Amino acid sequence: MSFHESLAHDLARELGAVSAPFERISYSVTDAVALVTICREDKLNAMDSATLGELMRAFLSARADRDVRAVILTGSGPKAFVAGADIAEMAVLSPDEARRFAERGQQLTQLIESMPKPVLAAINGFALGGGCEIALSCHIRVASENARFGQPEVKIGLLPGFGGSQRLPRLVGKGLGLELLLTGGMIDAAEALRIGLVNRVVPAGTVVEAAKDIAKLIVANAPLAIEYCMAAVASGLEMPLDEALRMEAALFGLCFASDDMREGTAAFLEKRPAHFTGK
């Protein structure tokens, strides 16, 4: 069992039945795309322990559901994706409790990052602190024009705890990553696009639909090919190039054992749409 499979197994055992009702998020599936919405608009969708737990259950459910081919994560209301951790809850934690809270947040971001199905963040408004870290763990990030990003933890005597000190420099480079981490500054959507923090910026109020448009393009393709592409990128970036290329060739060969490859090539030659089954 791989590390990420073990993580998902341990979380499932810890959290119990993933079918329990949600109170702080909403979860729905339409046309093979799961939409996960954090529903704490009055708190700017701030992240507390209960919301962390519900998000983990939602992503475990999406991971296990063969009918789900992609996931979109967003926050309710126009003001925030996730404005950060719930400071009122966090301020009273002991050092040991704080460490466990950070580890729980890291479990969530690792679960999202390790999903074999693409996760798209539809970022409306503030994505600060833990919210920025959750967005960083998603595979594709679509931002509204009013989106704002930052890791302001140093302003309250902390550092990021959900993986921001590791993922942010990996994504935008060490220099820019350190500048954002050490100043605690906030950047707008245009700057986030310029430095590669987000994939695209769209007009306010359209971010979920824009993410759905991308997801629709993804789910039209062969499921195994999508999964292998994600595995190749996730693992290959941590390998020397020659080793990563050998892995790519091995995955390319595996595709030729699939019904989807045979269907896809036949459909291309016959000039018709392909009908993939994920086998």
Residues 162 and 191 occupy one common structural domain: yes
Domain coverage including residue 58 = 3-219
pLDDT at residue 5, rounded to an integer: 53
The span from the CA of 4 to the CA of 236, in Å, is 16
119 shares a domain with 30: yes
Is 249 within the bounds of a domain?
Answer: yes
CB–CB of 147/192 below 8 Å? Answer: yes
Residues 60 and 131 occupy one common structural domain = yes
Best CA proximity match to 71, nearest among 108, 31, 131: 31
pLDDT of 21: 84
CA dist 262 → 233, 257, 258, 279 (Å): 24, 8, 7, 10
C-alpha span between 60 and 112 (Å, rounded):
9
pLDDT value for 258: 92
Considering only CA atoms, which of 27, 58, 24 is closest in space to residue 41?
24
pLDDT value, residue 267: 87
Q: How far apart are CA 38 and CA 207, in angstroms?
A: 15
- Do 234 and 249 have their domain in common? yes
Q: State whether the Cα torsion 15-18-20-26 is positive or negative.
A: positive
Per-residue pLDDT, 1: 46
* pTM tops 0.95, yes or no: no
Q: Look at residues 219, 236, 254 and tell me which one is the last residue of a structural domain.
A: 219
Domains identified in the chain, total number: 2
- Written as tens digits, the pLDDT of the chain (279 aa) is 444 555 555 555 545 545 678 989 999 999 999 999 999 999 999 999 999 999 999 999 999 999 999 999 999 999 999 998 888 888 899 999 999 999 999 999 999 999 999 999 999 999 999 999 999 999 999 999 999 999 999 999 999 999 999 999 999 999 999 999 999 999 999 999 999 999 999 999 999 999 999 999 999 999 999 999 999 999 999 899 999 999 999 999 999 999 999 999 898 999 999 888 888
Report pLDDT for 6: 53
Strands (E), 60-118: 70-75, 80-82
Tell whether 230 and 157 lie within a shared domain.
Answer: no
Cβ-count burial 9-32 (b if 16+ within 10 Å, e if not)? eebbeeeeebeeebebbebeeeeb
Give pLDDT, residue 279: 87
CATH of the domain at 174: 3.90.226.10
Residues 213 and 234 placed together within one structural domain of the fold: no
3-class state of residue 215 by DSSP = helix
The one-letter code for the residue type at 206 is T
Active site amino acids: 133, 153
CB atoms closer than 10 angstroms to residue 172: 19
Residue 259's domain is classified under what CATH number?
Answer: 1.10.12
Are residues 101 and 183 both part of a single domain? Answer: yes
In a shared domain, residues 73 and 155: yes
